[in-house]
Chains A and B, each alone.
Chain A
Amino acid sequence: MRQDVYRGCGRLAPDGGLRGMIPFQVYMLRGRDFSNAGRISSSIKRVLKENKFDPGVIQRIAIITYEAEINLACYTYYGYLWIYFLNDRIKIVVKDSGQGITDIALAMKEGYSTASEEIKRLGFGAGMGLANIKKNSDLMFLHSLPGIGTTLQIEVLLNPDQKREPMNITMEEVLTRTNFTLLTEGIDLTRNVTGGFAGDMLSDVNANSREGNIWITILAHPNGIAVASLKEHAGIIISGGIKPGGDFLERALRENIPVLFSELSTYEVVTILSGLGITANH
């Protein structure tokens, strides 16, 4: 076994429990190395078995890490895999230095593949990898810079029946439980909030925010409303005491996007929202 291919650090408590520490392991993965692909997932599987995780969870993690390894072997030069053992979930982060993914939505599609003949001869490259990973994870986040690399974040909940609770909070409650000012009277505030997103760069908001998010920004430009509308945000909070102009509010009313205002900084607004149980998208 080549020592440089695989390296682990951090470990589980001796009794197999996870109490009182934040155990994690990190592995180095080699790209363009088909004969060793799968070694790390098999050693992760062994660790999980020794620590008596639920067999269903073990298998999902094994499939996820194995597909990730295959992807790395196919498309990258090298990468790292972190596995974190949290109280209620296992989190996996895979970062690679590879060709990156230009169109993530397309790459996620079952059956879409850019695999070479060599990969296909191995029995992979039929465009199932990412779809398989998604199917086996409770939460998946993929971020890629073409030419630089890809980061994949996965979470698997330890209790298979436990799903993320809906946040159960509406814009109306956000308004009544905070001292933010509503600038768009008459707009429907009953929509449900799915999480929060803070940022002042439209392309970032466009790429990473989600439907139902509250967007916190100091950007009071009418184009922001277009993005909020496109992404179907639950609402916008303009922070930092920036006063939006008439054209901004007019557009918000037209596009039906609630706009709240606060003198507080973005950081403080986020803290308040987090106190209401509104979390990030992961």
Chain B
Amino acid sequence: MKLSEIRTLLNADIIFGEELLETTEVETAFASDLLSDVLAYSKPNALFITGLTNPQVIRTVEVLDLVGVVFVRGKVPQLETVELAKRRNIPLLRTKCIMFEACGRMYTAGVGASRQTVD
């Protein structure tokens, strides 16, 4: 699924990367407010759904080769976060959905989990 479709699905604002929405393919996603857990468990190429707003979100995306970030619960990322995402060319969306709702809409539309269980 294209990131532009996810944007419609979540009724999300584009914070950065309008021109990336058509070219970014999203097959899986990982949702968490704990970056260490994302680092421990997420697989590459997932879309990252989070309520965290600090620049470490982008570092984590970079380390794991994730495809983009959706900020949930209406959170606005810090300026530094947006600046870093621009430099790294990582698309950022913001939705008023809570995390469960965002995940539910995406899952129903066919976006799978980055991983289903942890060992």
Contact = CB atoms under 8 A, between A and B. Distances in A.
> Are A and B subunits of one complex?
yes
Contact of A128 (B40, B59, B60, B80): B40
Interface string A18-42: 0000000000000000110111011
B59 A42 contact: yes
Contacts of B37: 126, 128
Contact of A66 (B34, B44, B59, B65): B59
Interface residues of B, number: 21
A63 B62 CA distance: 10
Given A35-B55, A42-B59, A122 B64 contact: no
In terms of DSSP, what is the predominant structure of the interface of chain B?
A: helix
B44 A132 contact: no
A55 B45 CA distance: 13
A72 to B, nearest CB: 13
Contacts of B55: 35, 38
B36 interface: yes
A37 B56 contact: yes
A216 interface: no
Contacts of B59: 37-39, 41-42, 66
B36 A66 contact: no
Contacts of A129: 36
Contacts of B101: none
A123 B40 CA distance: 13
Given A67-B39, A135-B40, A123 B63 contact: no
A42 B63 contact: yes
B52 A123 contact: yes
Interface in B7-64: 33-37, 39-40, 44, 50, 52, 54-57, 59-60, 62-64
21 contacts: A34-B54, A35-B80, A38-B60, A41-B63, A42-B63, A45-B62, A55-B44, A59-B44, A59-B63, A62-B64, A66-B39, A122-B52, A122-B56, A123-B50, A123-B54, A125-B36, A128-B36, A128-B37, A132-B36, A132-B40, A135-B40
Interface of B: 33-37, 39-40, 44, 50, 52, 54-57, 59-60, 62-65, 80
